[in-house]
């Protein structure tokens, strides 16, 4: 298989047989037997207790000690404070504590389309990244909006060693030591999240991955994310 990790943005949508509790302590355990990675999206809305994070790590370790968690940054940083003040830095410090417990090395930052690359926004973002620098973490940033040109992204991201996160059906990544793809279903579908990827779509995606000589992360974020991820894993296995 291509040097990649495939998973979903969360594990709650995993559909299991009615007797799954006979084998697993939780849905996360069942998920971690199928996939090698999960992106925790719930941290965007509310940061979990450290005790909860320890429980997640312990449950996953019973199945696979190499199972990987990635963390989505809280909305306080990206949508409310927007990198402006110490509130963003303090929130990120809490995220770092979560990462330590989960042994997570990647934090996803996703900004809304309303966060445009204005002089003020860029200045605030740079100041934020200067203050949170951590050699143990890799930052991945998914910008939204046409105003974020490749030139702007590359200049800012390379300065802070940030990986450019994209939906590969929408645009190509500009920079980063590895690939981090998030697939939301649109394009190719008309509505974000509501599209069911076809074999043709996923075969195209496998060809895209083969065009890069980098380790890659592929995270599905559509309604049928688990189905799509499993289907994509099968396609890659059949191509060996």
Domain ranges of the chain: 4-238
- What's the pLDDT at 1? 54
- What's the pLDDT at 240? 57
| Per-residue pLDDT reduced to its tens digit, 76-87 | 999 999 999 999
Residue 226 has pLDDT above 60, yes or no: yes
Please report which confidence band the pLDDT of residue 238 belongs to, taking 50, 70 and 90 as the band edges. Answer: confident
Contact 69, 103 (CB under 8 A): yes
Please report which confidence band the pLDDT of residue 190 belongs to, taking 50, 70 and 90 as the band edges. Answer: confident
Contact 110, 145 (CB under 8 A): no
CA distances from 162 to 3, 109, 123, 154, 236 (A): 20, 10, 16, 9, 27
The Cα–Cα gap between 45 and 69 comes to: 17
The Cα–Cα gap between 167 and 218 comes to: 9
| Per-residue pLDDT reduced to its tens digit, 117-174 | 999 999 999 999 999 988 899 999 999 999 999 999 999 999 999 999 999 999 999 9
Quick one: CATH architecture of 4-238? Alpha-Beta Barrel (3.20)
| Per-residue pLDDT reduced to its tens digit, 32-55 | 999 999 999 999 999 999 999 999
């Amino acid at each position: 298989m291509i040097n990649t990790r495939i998973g979903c943005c969360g594990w709650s949508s995993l559909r299991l047989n009615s007797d799954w509790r006979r084998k697993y302590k939780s849905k996360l355990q069942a998920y971690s037997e199928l996939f090698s990675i999960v992106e925790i999206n719930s941290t965007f809305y509310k940061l979990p207790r450290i005790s909860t994070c320890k429980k997640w790590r312990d449950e996953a370790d019973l199945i696979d000690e190499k199972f990987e968690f990635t963390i989505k940054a809280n909305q306080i940083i990206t949508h409310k404070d927007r990198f402006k003040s110490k509130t963003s830095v303090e929130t990120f410090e809490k995220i770092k504590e979560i990462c330590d417990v989960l042994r997570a090395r990647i934090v996803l930052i996703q900004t809304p389309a309303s966060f445009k690359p204005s002089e003020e926004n860029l200045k605030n973002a740079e100041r934020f990244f200067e203050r949170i620098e951590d050699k143990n973490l890799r930052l991945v940033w998914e910008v939204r909006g046409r105003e974020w040109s490749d030139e702007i992204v590359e200049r800012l991201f390379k300065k802070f060693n940030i990986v450019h996160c994209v939906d590969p059906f929408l645009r190509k990544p500009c920079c980063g030591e590895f690939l981090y793809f998030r697939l939301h279903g649109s394009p190719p579908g008309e509505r974000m999240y509501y599209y069911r990827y076809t074999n043709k779509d996923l075969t195209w995606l496998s060809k895209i991955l083969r065009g890069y000589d980098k380790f890659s992360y592929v995270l599905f974020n559509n309604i049928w994310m688990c189905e799509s991820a499993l289907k994509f894993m099968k396609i890659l296995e059949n191509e060996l």
